[in-house]
Structure formats: structure tokens, C-alpha cells
Structure 1
Amino acid sequence: MMHIAFTIDNRFVRPCAVTMVSVLRNNVPYEIVFHVIGLNLHQEDVAFFSALCDSYGAKVFFYEVAEEKMKAYEVTWEKQRLSKVVFFRCLLSSILPMSVSKVLYLDCDVLVLSSLYGLWETDLTGVALAGVPDSFTVNPVHCRRLHYAPSYNYFNGGVLLLNLEYWRAHEVERLCAEHYRMYSDRIVYNDQDLLNSLLHERKRLLDMKWNVQEGAYRRPKGKPASWVPPYVETITRPAILHYSGRKPWQYHCMHPLRQLYFEYESLLPGVEKKNDGWAVRLHRFVHFLPYTLGIKSEKYIDIRYCSSGEKTSETRSAPLISIVVPVYNVERYVEKCIRSLQGQTYGHIEVILVDDASTDGSYDMCKAAIGGDSRFKLIRHPVNQGVAGARNLGLSVATGELLGFVDPDDWIEQDMYALLYDAYVVSGADIVQCGYYLHLQSGNIQKCAVGKNECWGTREALELLFQDRLIKNYLWNKLYKRKLFDGVSFPVGRTFEDILTLPEVFGRAKTVYVAGDITYHYVERHKSIVTKAFRQNQWDDYLYALDVKHSRAKALGLWKDSDRFLANMYLRILDRSLSEDGSDKKRKVLMEYLRKNVSGVPLLTKSPYLAFRRFLCLHHFDLYKGATLFFAKFKKK
């Protein structure tokens, strides 16, 4: 659940609604809760916001601020445009329910143009907030005016991720009021100055993409029209666009992405698009005439020049991407998966859902979620054939030039395939991989397989795949050339078909590109080898897959460090099985693999500890079992 807060008066109802639409359109899979802290809002304003959020399945709550809370503050700059609502964000820790431990504050002059998940998951441990450095002001000047060292930087207040638990524990709200009362003579930019002055040591700075302000689009004096800034990719594809100067609805706004605001405004339900009157058009003509005639030089970067020369998913005739989703008894999760696929910013996709004879309502759920979306194909297996059989069927009907896979109980960011395709075009690789978020059953989230935008050759990529480190043995966080799977079929009747199939696919790829983007969400359920719900046949399949992988690597002269990996994995599985009933069969199989695939002498030079455990397990098993169970009990205590 993602909590987003706005502080507005009745003059900013429409801009706030436009920001809401941009959030909802670009964050489809997430449960969004809006908190609107308003001043002088009318009943029709509340009804308008409520209807807008209902149409997207989001929630919205409204709050009023008691007058006594605002007695400590006074607006000191641009009084004609601002009101006391700018200080409401200093009161969020007491206004919002105690159950809200974190909130994303957004100004009403921003557009959210991508998923907010990466921002929402920012670690706020030990800090009050996270924000982006201000790009328009001269940081040292403001830092000195506020009496702190310029090395702490100065953040913009338009996009702030607030740690409300920290605010409540450290009484930051009370400190804000006291600080303002004591140093109001230093405060020029109202709440932004106040928060920087008070919390400059208790903040975390964010990447520029989370608050791309107007100053980022201004061309420095003396630079030619074709000048391209070093942060070109960020300003051409901002995650959050902030109209921090003149607003798009003002006639003298010259922002190069001004029109984008009106595109989102046109999505507001029941609101007629306003055309500029003759007076506004005349004002704009007079304002722009000196620039058109060359009397004045352009203030802004011409974003037409801000192209790397490579064609992306937006500028090139995009090929079809076929995405195969095997479905079996995932009624509770599959709708979220489908919604994330429907919201892909890369539109030229076909999604092939193969229901593998589910015994719950998965098929009906898929059918309802797809609706009339012609990009989706729903196929039903009459007899269960397992994940491998479902994927084989999906492959057989896929018509795309490119291929992807998604598990039905996971979900993906809306720009996943757009980013993968752009990386595919720029790198020229046959396979492109992104990073993924691992959602653990404990509720914790880990970032995995995060690359550095690097290309690897065939042998290098295979080595990484065998090691299962940077390149993981998973189908789903990758984009493939379809022809790599020609003649390839997944082994029906076995699980861990990824491990058995991917080496063959990677062996055909000339280059593999590992991107730095994290866009896949993998949810740990019963399917993980570390969970207790793993069945005996899955253990057998996993051990078989490891054995096949080891044999292939050995034949190719790769994965020279396999002894340590296999010894550790075999012993981990063995340790987990010691307390289970009927584990003798599993133990014998594990010990046979340990004896066959792991040599004791080479292992001794790499890991004496693992070599000792292997020796003890193979030659003195009762002693090994007793020691392992004893230390397991001791560890629990």
C-alpha cells in the first residue's frame, strides 16, 4: 500500500487531480491511498476527487487543519500565489493516522511518469525524509543563509518521502514550529527553507529522476542550441516531472514539456478541455515573439537534440514481444499480474496465458481480468502438464520477434518491457536481463541481479549463469530473441525447467546485456527451495537439475568454483531434511551427489570448513547429524 499526500487550497483542485491521474495511470498494480489536506475545499471538490479515485480503484481521505496549529507560521514569499497550506506538510505526522508510517508528499505541479515503487522502497532508516537536490537555486547561497555547511546540500520540497515514524519519535513537528519561531528571519522559501534548515543532517538525497525540476531544462548561457546536457536521459525520461517555475496553465510558461501536462489533464473524467481564449493566445504570441525573431536567446534546451542517436521503443517501429504466462491455481494473485501486463508502456505485446487445468477459479479470473483486451490470448490445457508443458504450449503459439516470460503470482513494473527493449536496441544483445525485487515471506524485500549496464560474450554469460550470481537461472527477468528458442522445449514432468533449459538458450546467444534497472517483482511462496512446503519430487528435480548443470559446465570447462557451490547447496538441503520424517531416501541421494560431484581435496584448498563438513557427512554421518541438530537448537535459542 502506497500513501501519497497533497496539501492544497481550492485554487489547486484541478492541478492536484492531474497529478493524481498521472500517479494512477503509471502505477497500475499498486494499491494507492491519497491523503488530501485541504484549505477551504468545497463539497463539489471533495466529490470530484472521490469520483476520480473510485474510477481507478484508489482510496482518498480528506483532512482539515485546526487553525491553532497554523498560528506559528506565516507565508513570507510570493504571498499572492502561496497560502499557509505550504506548511501543512510539516504537520503530516499528526494529521495522518498512526498506522501510516511513511508517506510520499507531492506538490500539485508535478507529473508522475513512471512507477513509484523504487522511490517508495527507499531506505529511510535513521533519517526524517528523502528528497532531490534543488536544481534551480544556487545551493551554497541558501545553505549559508540558513546557517549550515553547503556540503549538506539543499533539497527541493516538491517531492519528499517522509519517515513519519521518525517524525513522531523525535517530535519533528514541534521542532519545526520552534525552529520557525526562532529563525523566521532566515526563512525565505517557507517550508522548503524550514525543512532544510532543521533537517539538513537528517535527510537522504535521491536521484535526480525523482524530481526533475525546471532548472534541469534551462540551457546555460553561451551554450549552442544543439548542446546536450550530461543528464540527458533523465530529462527526456523523467520519473517525476516538476514544473517548479512557471506553471503549464500560465500563458508565459516556456517549459519544453508543457504540453504533457494538458495530455494528462485531458484524462480527467467529466472535465471539458479548456481552450485558451483570445487574450491568452495574444499574451503568448507577444511573449514568444522576441524569441522567434532571435532578439532573445532561447532559455530552454531543445529536447529534439537530446537523443543518443539510437532509436528507442518510442521512436522506432517496435517489434512484437510475446509474453508467456503459465497459470495454475493462482486465483488470488493472477489479476495483479495481468494488470501489470496491461499497463505496459511498451504497447506492442501479445500475452499468452496458458491455464494448466487449474482446479480453482484461475481461468475465470483470467478471463474477467482480460476483458476485451485483444493483446491477450487465454488457452486452457484439458489435462495438467506442469509449468514446462504450459510454457511449451505458449511457445508454440507465440508470434513475436522477441520473447518474455512472467510467473502468474508475480508482477512487473509498467516500463519493464520498454526498458528491456531500449536496452536490446542500444546494446544489440540477443538476451537482455533486468534486476528484480525479491519479496520474502517475512515481508522483507531484497534487490537482486542488479547489473551495471554491461555486455557479456557467450562463455562469460554462461559462466555467470552457471554460478547463478549476476545472471540468474530464471526465465522471467529477461527479454530474448525468439529464434533462440527454435527447437527448444521445456522438459515436461520436471520442475526447475529454467535451470535445465537456459544453458542451451544462452549457448546460442552471441551477447547478453545485464541492465541496471529493477523492474520485476518475484514473490517468495511455496515455489522457493528455501521454504518448508517443498515436496519430495521437487527436491529430486532440483538435485537432478544441479547435476545436469554441473555436467554441462564441466564439459565446457566453465564454473571452476562449482565444488564450493555444490557442497554448500547439498549440505544446506541435507541439514534441512535431518529433522523431517522419512528423509533417509533424500539423505542417500544427497550423499551420492556429494560424493560424485564434489572432490574433497580441491574443496579443502577453497573452503576447509566445507571440506571438513563433507568428510564428516560421508564418513561419520551419525556424528554429523547430532552436531547439526544440536547447533540448530542452540541457534534458535
Structure 2
Amino acid sequence: MPVYAVEDYLTTCLDSITAGLTAEERAQVEIVAVDDASPDGCGALLDAYGGLKILHLTKNVGLGPARNAGLAEATGEYVWFVDSDDWLPAGSVSAVLAALRAGRPDVLLIDHLRVHEDGRVRADASSHLLAGEATRERMLGVQHTAWNRIINRDFLIRHGLRFRPGWYEDVSFSHPVLLAADRIAALDRVCYHYRIGRPGAITATRSHRHFEAFFQYDLLHAWMIGRDVDPALKIQMFTLMINHLLVVAGNEHRMHPNHRRQFFRQISALYRRHRPAGFQPQSLRMRLVQTNNYPLYALLRAGYRATVRRRRKAERTSSVSRDVAPATPRAPTASIL
């Protein structure tokens, strides 16, 4: 667990890991917390909590290297990279332990809910994939994060899989984990609550550092060179990459408007650099990337956002109208017992 500037969330996260565990299960769980030179009271909270293995780093190294530092201290058969501003719903660790005992996979993927700061909760768009057969092709479509996969530690050591520094460090780690695994399993159960929109979170911060995603995708493709990756999987990976980067480009909370054109241009350059044999663009957005047509992309994006704003305004108006509508007499009801 990497810990940095999450004083308001840390205890909730720690409590959620051990809540409801039997004494036998608690003995099977080791919590390694890495204080990444946190500037707030996180270090003191960890020291006072008890039952943890704690690393206090003398300087801030970032999310990926902090995870690597924790991995070097871990002794468990499996590792689960839990972020310290998120939390686990009740029973999650017990369910994961049972799934690991049953199948002994290299990688176990779990479902999650996206919890917004305003209280909204929703499933991820890829969650339905966990309900089917856990094939490599299917699981590559699941959101590529470190925290939704529990991984055999010897498997990581054997393949030399580690996090790289920088933002979007999940990209060059989570995909190779699935590509290298021989045994993949899925647990179709919500075992993680992912906090969305927290102030200070990468996904809620406008920064030029979002350009570091290109470095991580270049690392991913460098990793694939010389490995026997199925051509169909290369096409799937390429499609996922471009779609992900387009999401980042269009996100108001991440991308400053003055950076969007440059970001799109770099997506097009990455497209040309890594386009796999046999790939054919199937969507208009993909064709715009292929032709490096930012003006048309910007026009279509503006039209889409205007449509979304009109729809949301209509929904709010409709909601207000229902709230102030005169009440009508309610028909009597009966229960047949």
C-alpha cells in the first residue's frame, strides 16, 4: 500500500482490509504500508495503527517505485496493490483468499465500483467481462489498473515485472501481467471501491504530466518485442491504447485546453509508431487519429459535449418540474395475504 497525502482516507482503507476476517484469515494476510515521504500525518497514523509492516521512505519516489519498495518487503504467496485512498467492501479479503485457494492462478481479477466524491456509485464499463470465461483476450478488456488484480509473487519475480516511475505506471505493468500469465482467473464480485474525483488525485488534476502516458505505452511495446504475443492480441492492445489516450485527451479534469492539440498530435505519432500488422481503423475517432486530423476531432468533441450539456439541462429541468407538480389523489392500495 503506497501512502502519500491521504490522511483523511488512510484509516478507512486500513480498517476495510482486516474487517470481518477470522483469526485464521488474519494470520494469512500481511499488510505492507509504504510511507512515500508523505507531507501530512500519514506516517504517524501508520506507526500508531499496529499490525503493519511499515517502510518510511526518506524522499518521495512516486506511486510505482513505492509499490516496488513494498513488493521487495512482501513475503506472501500473492500480492494485492491496494491504494490508500480507496477501500474494500466487507468480505472482500475472505472472498479473494477463497478464490486463490480454489484455483491457484497467476493472476486473479476482481470487480470494483467507482465511488464519486458527490456520493454517486456506478459499475465500471468493463465489469461485465468478469462474468464470462477468464480468457486472456476477455480479461485484457477489463480496466487496466494494478489494484483490480491479485498476482502470484513468484510469478512477478520470475518474469521481472515491476512498476516504472511516472504517471500511468499501471499501463506498463498491468498489461504485461496478463500477457505473461499462464493461469488467469476472475472473481465476479465487487471487492474494491475506487474513489473518483478526490482533490489531488491524478485523474482529477490538470497537468502536463498526463503526457507521461506515452512513455508508459512505449515501455509496453518495448516489452512485447521478442515475445510471442498473438497478432490478434497486439491489435486488441493497440485499440485499447488509442481509445484510452483519447479518453485522457477529452477529459476536462485532466487535460488543459491549451495542451489538447499537442496531446492529440502525440497520439497520432504513437499510432504511426506502433500500428500492428493487419490493423484497420473501425471508428471515426480512430481514423481521425490515423490522419492526424485535430481540427475535425475538436469540432466533433465540441458537438458531443454540447449535446451532453443539453441533455443534462433537460434532465435537471424535468426533475424540478416533477418536484413542484401538484399532488394527485392516490388510489387506495390493498395487500392480499
TM-score, normalization by structure 2: 0.74
Distance 1:411 1:589, change over 3 A: same
Residue 70 (structure 2) pairs with residue 397 (structure 1): no
Task: Give CA-to-partner distance per residue, 1:51-102, whole Å, 9 cap, x none.
Answer: xxxxxxxxxxxxxxxxxxxxxxxxxxxxxxxxxxxxxxxxxxxxxxxxxxxx
Distance 1:414 1:585, change over 3 A: same
Residue 207 (structure 2) pairs with residue 535 (structure 1): yes
SS in 2 for 1:561: helix
Q: Which residue of 1 aligns with 2:235?
A: 560
Q: Which residue of 2 aligns with 1:447?
A: 123
Aligned partner (choices 205, 217, 232) of residue 546 of structure 1: 217
Gaps of 5+ in 1: 1-324
Distance 1:338 1:595, change over 3 A: same
Offset, 1:385: 0.7
Q: Which residue of 1 aligns with 2:62?
A: 386
Offset, 1:507: 4.7
Task: Give CA-to-partner distance per residue, 1:439-460, whole Å, 9 cap, x none.
Answer: 1345321234353385x4xxx4
Residue 181 (structure 2) pairs with residue 474 (structure 1): no
Kept in 1, the 8 Å contact 2:115–2:193? The answer is yes
| Aligned partner letter, 2:40 | D
Distance 1:631 1:391, change over 3 A: closer
Task: Give CA-to-partner distance per residue, 1:529-581, whole Å, 9 cap, x none.
Answer: 7x4514222x1222332344456568612243345434433434334478613
Kept in 2, the 8 Å contact 1:392–1:490? The answer is yes
Q: Which residue of 1 aligns with 2:285?
A: 610
Kept in 1, the 8 Å contact 2:197–2:204? The answer is no
SS in 1 for 2:166: coil
Aligned partner (choices 302, 311, 314) of residue 629 of structure 1: 302
Distance 1:434 1:444 in 2: 21
Q: Which residue of 2 aligns with 1:347?
A: 26
Distance 2:18 2:77 in 1: 19
Task: Give CA-to-partner distance per residue, 1:342-368, whole Å, 9 cap, x none.
Answer: 325121222111100011111122233
Task: Give CA-to-partner distance per residue, 1:272-306, whole Å, 9 cap, x none.
Answer: xxxxxxxxxxxxxxxxxxxxxxxxxxxxxxxxxxx
Q: Which moved more, 1:517-526 or 1:505-514?
A: 505-514
SS in 2 for 1:495: coil
Aligned partner (choices 143, 156, 159) of residue 485 of structure 1: 156
Offset, 1:337: 0.5
| Aligned partner letter, 1:628 | R
Structure number with the bigger relative contact order (C-alpha 8 A, sep ≥ 6) is 2
Q: Which residue of 2 aligns with 1:593?
A: 270
| Aligned partner letter, 1:516 | D
Distance 1:326 1:414 in 2: 21
Higher strand share: 1
Q: Which residue of 2 aligns with 1:362?
A: 42
| Aligned partner letter, 2:15 | R
SS in 1 for 2:298: helix
Offset, 1:438: 1.4
Aligned partner (choices 97, 100, 108) of residue 421 of structure 1: 97
Distance 1:600 1:628 in 2: 29
Aligned length: 295
Q: Which residue of 2 aligns with 1:581?
A: 258
Distance 1:508 1:576, change over 3 A: closer
Offset, 1:474: 2.0
Distance 1:342 1:569, change over 3 A: closer
* Aligned-pair identity (%): 21
SS in 2 for 1:522: strand
Distance 1:634 1:479 in 2: 40
Kept in 2, the 8 Å contact 1:326–1:391? The answer is yes
Distance 1:386 1:629, change over 3 A: same
Distance 1:611 1:481, change over 3 A: closer
Distance 1:409 1:441, change over 3 A: same
Matches within 5 A, 1:32-431: 325-345=1-21, 346-348=25-27, 349-368=29-48, 370=49, 373=50, 375-431=51-107
Distance 1:573 1:397 in 2: 34
Distance 2:277 2:178 in 1: 31
Task: Give CA-to-partner distance per residue, 1:494-529, whole Å, 9 cap, x none.
Answer: 233222123444455331110122121111135877
Offset, 1:334: 0.4
Q: Which has the larger radius of gyration?
A: 1
Offset, 1:401: 2.4
Q: Which residue of 1 aligns with 2:323?
A: none
| Aligned partner letter, 2:301 | T
Q: Which residue of 2 aligns with 1:509?
A: 181
Distance 1:428 1:602, change over 3 A: closer
Distance 1:564 1:475, change over 3 A: closer
Distance 1:388 1:512 in 2: 23
| Aligned partner letter, 1:498 | D
| Aligned partner letter, 1:514 | A
Aligned partner (choices 132, 148, 170) of residue 498 of structure 1: 170
Offset, 1:476: 1.9
Distance 2:300 2:8 in 1: 42
Offset, 1:377: 1.6
Kept in 1, the 8 Å contact 2:79–2:150? The answer is yes
Higher helix share: 2
Kept in 2, the 8 Å contact 1:356–1:381? The answer is yes
Distance 1:513 1:329, change over 3 A: same
| Aligned partner letter, 1:417 | V
Could you say what the CA RMSD is over the residues aligned between the two structures, in angstroms? 3.2
TM-score, normalization by structure 1: 0.42
Distance 1:636 1:491 in 2: 38
| Aligned partner letter, 1:483 | D
Kept in 1, the 8 Å contact 2:166–2:212? The answer is yes
| Aligned partner letter, 1:443 | G
Residue 109 (structure 2) pairs with residue 433 (structure 1): yes
| Aligned partner letter, 2:12 | K
SS in 2 for 1:389: helix
Distance 2:297 2:62 in 1: 37
